[in-house]
Structure 1
């Protein structure tokens, strides 16, 4: 028997095995599991299950943000079961970490050239070099209502000739599923989704490689010759060189003057070591060069007292995901970049 009765009806499977709706609009912000009826004309399963954070419940429609950041719209009339569920279970391997810790560590490893506070939010700019260095990190309270905060964000980036981006996260305790839903409600568009993965550092350092790896404090011309972003500016060099303790790794090319066979970057920050810009000459892939670079950087990070590692990988980069999984990394949370909506006349909010 399916119980009905409006917005405040309950969602769960009862002790007798019957399906019941036992969540209400008061559960917005909690992690829920719901089952809904599919449209009768759609072939396939009769029901669809959704687990995520209940972002809103207005006008007979539920918005649930899944771990990967996808927002699902569900008609209240289609609900047949559901309940509030605990947060995702703790990871079974690798270091323990909160989202807030990793968010602050990751922003220290890729510093903007300019930043400003809006309450507890951090506005970051670096002349457009990467979204990470040119987006808002919205941890905490901006100190003013959301619409006013978004207008201030658009104005701040518009004064610098940049599109306004907000970097959000989903899938871990303390992440920003509710903010994602509010941004989408206001027309902000999600352009990029990636994941932050973490793992133990020592197993990476234990991996041996036969190739010579050169470590340096600065990105020299040889390193930049292999870096995927060509024509690196002075601003980009400042971002690349930012962080508490930065190391650049290079596997020399096969001949004098040739671009490196592989490169990588590591930032050591307390117990954490970050890996980025791990790139290999396409003609020399499948030789283990990426592992060799990361192992050399990991050994240096261990010498400086680090014990844990993190990196970022895009959701569609299957090769990198397989490599990192084999090294003991696992996803901690997803992160997303939302871009401001265009104004009706084709311009952009905050431009001047």
Structure 2
């Protein structure tokens, strides 16, 4: 198995983004000239955006217009996910011209599971109700929480959720999904959440370490996770565990 973190950034970004189509899918997806249009009918960025990993169209402006019509037909704003491997190279400049704003600036972090994994008696993998409660508690809105849980429910890959308990009550959680393409295998960590009253107690750290252990048991040593650029506490946690930022991405949204 190859270590994506040792590849050139553009190559690694392309592989990670391609595998991420499996670890965080939309409800509906449509292929168009090498792009993948994803629709989830809610507010989340990734499951409602265009994955631009390939482009085979003869006219970029016409292709963007097609995307805009497809999203408008579903009552959604057109949105493109941009990263170092986005294609074609002229896409972002064209989106600028068409009035797309940038938002959701985030970083993709990577690490080796073997360097992070650590079991804890405080962490359980059999607490779905606590996991759902903590995801809802840590989401921006009730709709956001339900959308994220819906993504987890429709995963068609090996995945699991972990919950850290304090005095018998679930106080932090996280989720991990395993995707592979040939000899490339990736475990993506998502939905790391902590009860606000129990932050800075080391519970999220235990969750991430336990999830890394699960990845190891699945014969996967390559971990990824995404975090908003402005989320300094989360970035500090992941960096202290040994995660390193590999590349940034953001979304371009019309209107």
TM-score by length of 1: 0.63
Match in the other structure for 2:91: 179
Q: For the residues of structure 2 that align with 1:188 and 1:107, how far apart are their CA atoms?
A: 23
User: Does structure 2 conserve the Cα–Cα contact (< 8 Å) formed by 1:269 and 1:306?
Assistant: no
Q: For the residues of structure 1 that align with 2:172 and 2:111, how far apart are their CA atoms?
A: 22
Aligned to 1:252, what secondary structure does the other structure show? strand
Superposition deviation, residue 94 in structure 1: 5.0
Greater than 6 Å deviation, 4+ residue runs:
none
Superposition deviation, residue 128 in structure 1: 1.6
Deviation track 1:135-154 (CA, whole Å, cap 9, x = no partner) reads 00011115241111111111
Residues 254-265 of structure 1 mapped to structure 2, 5 A cutoff: 254-255=167-168, 260-265=170-175
User: Does structure 1 conserve the Cα–Cα contact (< 8 Å) formed by 2:60 and 2:91?
Assistant: no
Moved more, 224-233 or 267-276: 224-233
Match in the other structure for 2:17: 103
User: Does structure 2 conserve the Cα–Cα contact (< 8 Å) formed by 1:120 and 1:142?
Assistant: yes
Match in the other structure for 1:244: 157
Q: For the residues of structure 2 that align with 1:199 and 1:168, how far apart are their CA atoms?
A: 22
Match in the other structure for 2:109: 197
Residues 25-36 of structure 1 mapped to structure 2, 5 A cutoff: none
Deviation track 1:149-181 (CA, whole Å, cap 9, x = no partner) reads 1111111111111111111113xxx44563222
Provide structure 1 residue ranges, at least 5 long, that are not aligned to the other structure: 1-92, 342-352
Aligned to 2:83, what secondary structure does the other structure show? strand
Superposition deviation, residue 238 in structure 1: 3.5
C-alpha root-mean-square deviation of aligned residues, in Å?
2.2
User: Does structure 2 conserve the Cα–Cα contact (< 8 Å) formed by 1:110 and 1:243?
Assistant: no
User: Does structure 1 conserve the Cα–Cα contact (< 8 Å) formed by 2:189 and 2:225?
Assistant: yes
Q: For the residues of structure 2 that align with 1:94 and 1:149, how far apart are their CA atoms?
A: 32
TM-score by length of 2: 0.85
Q: For the residues of structure 2 that align with 1:95 and 1:326, how far apart are their CA atoms?
A: 20
Q: For the residues of structure 1 that align with 2:6 and 2:67, how far apart are their CA atoms?
A: 34
Match in the other structure for 1:120: 34
- Aligned pair 1:168/2:82, yes or no? yes
- Aligned pair 1:331/2:245, yes or no? yes
User: Does structure 1 conserve the Cα–Cα contact (< 8 Å) formed by 2:111 and 2:243?
Assistant: yes
Q: For the residues of structure 2 that align with 1:175 and 1:331, how far apart are their CA atoms?
A: 18
Deviation track 1:220-255 (CA, whole Å, cap 9, x = no partner) reads 332111112354587654412314111111123535
Superposition deviation, residue 98 in structure 1: 1.8
Q: For the residues of structure 1 that align with 2:97 and 2:114, how far apart are their CA atoms?
A: 44
Provide structure 2 residue ranges, at least 5 long, that are not aligned to the other structure: none
Q: For the residues of structure 1 that align with 2:16 and 2:250, how far apart are their CA atoms?
A: 15
Q: How many residues align?
A: 239
Residues 1-80 of structure 1 mapped to structure 2, 5 A cutoff: none
Q: 1:119 to 1:246 in 2, by over 3 A?
A: same
Question: Of the two, which has the highest radius of gyration?
Answer: 1
User: Does structure 2 conserve the Cα–Cα contact (< 8 Å) formed by 1:105 and 1:269?
Assistant: yes
Q: For the residues of structure 1 that align with 2:81 and 2:63, how far apart are their CA atoms?
A: 14
Q: For the residues of structure 1 that align with 2:214 and 2:22, how far apart are their CA atoms?
A: 19
Match in the other structure for 2:179: 269
Match in the other structure for 1:226: 134
Superposition deviation, residue 285 in structure 1: 1.8
Q: For the residues of structure 1 that align with 2:227 and 2:203, how far apart are their CA atoms?
A: 18
Aligned to 2:235, what secondary structure does the other structure show? helix
